[in-house]
Amino acid sequence: MEKISILGFILAILYFITELACNGHTHVDNNVQSKQKALIDFNSGLKDPNNRLSSWKGSNYCYWKGISCENSTGFVISIDLHNPYPRENVYENWSSMNLSGEISPSLIKLKSLKYLDLSFNSFKAMPVPQFFGSLKNLIYLNLSSAGFSGSIPSNLRNLSSLQYLDLSSEYLDDIDFEYLYDIHSEYFNNLFVENIEWMTDLVSLKYLGMNYVNLSLVGSRWVEVANKLPSLTELHLGGCSLSSSFPSPTFVNLTSLAVIAINSNYFNSKFPEWLLNVSNLVSIDISDNQLHGRIPLGLGELPNLQYLDLSLNVNLRGSISQLLRKSWKKIEVLNLAQNELHGSIPSSIGNFCNLKYLDLSFNLLNGSLPEIIEGLETCSSKSPLPNLTELSLYYNQLMGKLPNWLGELKNLRALYLSSNKFEGPIPTSLWTLQHLEYLYLSRNELNGSLPDSIGQLSQLQGLGVSSNHMSGSLPYSIGQLSQLQCLYVSSNHLSGSLPDSIGQLSQLQDLDVSSNHLSGSLPDSIGQLSQLQELDVSSNHLSGSLSEQHFWKLSKLWYLRMDSNSFHLNVSPNWVPPFQVNDLDMGSCRLGPSFPAWL
């Protein structure tokens, strides 16, 4: 500290006796000119179709967009040209504002440069410039998703002050990554590492991001290398083509490690028990690998763990009741989906005061949910699981009645219980959950009816109770669910008519009421559902005429099934429907002779 401030003082004096570049003084010395020239050379190599760097003119380079200087000296300390519009809307506005072109070695002249961010631009398969290894004062280097390719140069070993190194390609988990990669490959990094030993020279490294950098040639050496970086806090090696096992280091050095994300690789060993020695761990993601064997109970004793994702390993085993009896003191996200967890969920689950997200779907859980859960005393809010927003238990073998405490999870936004063997009625308490957005209970043995109080769920976007034994009629109040996008109630014993109020569901995209005992006519108001894409009313006892009004605003419809009812079509012969369906079955045999061309 002392040294830095003395240095600062000397620099400040130098500044007064030489130059006030950023304060608009007229005299410009060689030093400033050379920095300015370095930046202008850098700029002239870049292609900037959107004129992002239009402010890069005049002598006050400290005020150019993306440039920061040390105020006292006018030294350039930061160049931040990350794309401000990364892939927000990947299909429509893909990587607008991107920079490309050459990266001039003139940057070497900026001897004080500490921070360089070129992320999310498109340098079109350019290799990472070797000269970056000469930017010796760099603390932060972000080249993520900027279109670099080839081998990461071992020259970077000279960056002994580097604390943040991000060479990741972005992780696109909700869209078709391969499709995008094909059409936009120049915007992704396509990097690999042959030999990773040089990285042990990056002694200041706190953050290493190399998602989707191909490390297949490195083998398991990455463990020893990471173990030699004394300050390493975050390690992101998702999708790096790492395989086989990760050997335990002889002695676990990684005392600072808080985040390890090594998801989407090909590890096919047991869970790396040595991670349990890293007591600072806050977040572990080893999802989407091929781990097998037991999930160690010790994970539940890691004192700082907030985030654990071991989903999609398929062969990880464990007893859920043993696991959840551990303390999990700070856990907020627990995702163990798509494994081989067995047993039943213990009442101690209520004690997870900070839990926000629990996903145990696609496992072998059985037994019934505990009737009562603990937690009333433990959590400061005096309610069990006070922070839970998403609970996912679908595709298990859970049975018995749905317990009333589900309706006490006041912050719940999503409840997924489909594909189990739950029976009996849906607890009335569920219809009081004000924040509920998704309620999926399909493919169980539930009975009873949907109550009027369903209209209170003002945030509901998706409701699924298909393939159960529900009876009664669809309540009129369903029309109050103004956010509802998907309504699936097929394959039940619902009777009565479809309420006219259904036409008020202005956001509705999917409506499936097929295979019930619904009768009466199809309400005209259906024709108002301008967002509707899929409509299935087949296999009911519906009747009456289908007029042009029933289809009035359905311009987005692409799937339509109305067969196995007793409708008769009553539209003029030259009527052109507002939609083009790809998949259509209106039950031709029952529609009568006036069979329009579009069927």
Ligand X SMILES: *[C@@H]1O[C@H](CO)[C@@H](O)[C@H](O)[C@H]1NC(C)=O
369 or 406: CB nearest ligand X: 369
Are the CB atoms for 123 and 104 separated by under 8 Å?
Answer: no
Select from 253, 495, 530, 531 the one that contacts ligand X (CB under 6 A).
253
Does 346 bind ligand X (CB under 6 A)? Our answer is no
Q: Which helix (H) or strand (E) holds 10?
A: helix 2-17
Does 248 bind ligand X (CB under 6 A)? Our answer is yes
Q: Which stretch binds ligand X (CB under 6 A): 88-96, 264-272, 504-512, 560-568?
A: 88-96
Distance (Å, whole) CA 575 – CA 592: 16
Select from 93, 160, 453, 506 the one that contacts ligand X (CB under 6 A).
93
Distance (Å, whole) CA 352 – CA 334: 11
Does 230 bind ligand X (CB under 6 A)? Our answer is yes
Q: Which amino acid is at 194?
A: E
Conformational region of residue 244, where left means phi above 0, alpha means psi within -120 to 50, and beta covers everything else: left
Does 164 bind ligand X (CB under 6 A)? Our answer is yes
Select from 424, 523, 577, 587 the one that contacts ligand X (CB under 6 A).
424
Select from 96, 245, 322, 530 the one that contacts ligand X (CB under 6 A).
96
Does 147 bind ligand X (CB under 6 A)? Our answer is no
Distance of CA 30 to the CA centre of its chain: 50
Select from 105, 219, 247, 249 the one that contacts ligand X (CB under 6 A).
249
- Provide CB contacts within 8 A for 351, sequence distance 6+: 374, 375, 378, 379, 384
Residues in the interface with ligand X (CB under 6 A) total: 56
Least Å from the CB of residue 44 to ligand X: 15
Select from 46, 113, 152, 166 the one that contacts ligand X (CB under 6 A).
166
Distances (CA, A) of 51 to 69, 90, 412, 472: 22, 21, 46, 63
Does 89 bind ligand X (CB under 6 A)? Our answer is yes
Which of the residues 357 through 396 are near ligand X (CB under 6 A)?
366-367, 381, 386-387
Nearest to 41 by CA among 119, 117, 122, 102: 102
266 or 595: CB nearest ligand X: 266
- Token duo for residue 251: 């002695």
| E strand residue ranges, 245-363 | 259-261, 266-267, 283-285, 292-294, 307-309, 315-319, 333-335, 340-343, 357-359
Does 296 bind ligand X (CB under 6 A)? Our answer is no
Query: What pairs with residue 359 in β-bridges?
Result: 335, 392
Does 303 bind ligand X (CB under 6 A)? Our answer is no
Site map 28..47 versus ligand X, x via CB under 6 A = -------------------x
Distance of CA 374 to the CA centre of its chain: 31
3-state SS assignment for residue 425:
strand
Does 120 bind ligand X (CB under 6 A)? Our answer is yes
Binding site for ligand X (CB under 6 A): 47, 49, 71, 82, 85-86, 88-89, 93-98, 100, 119-120, 122, 133-134, 142, 144, 155, 158, 164, 166, 192, 207, 209, 214, 216-217, 227-228, 230, 241, 248-253, 274, 277, 332, 342, 354, 366-367, 381, 386-387, 423-424, 447-448
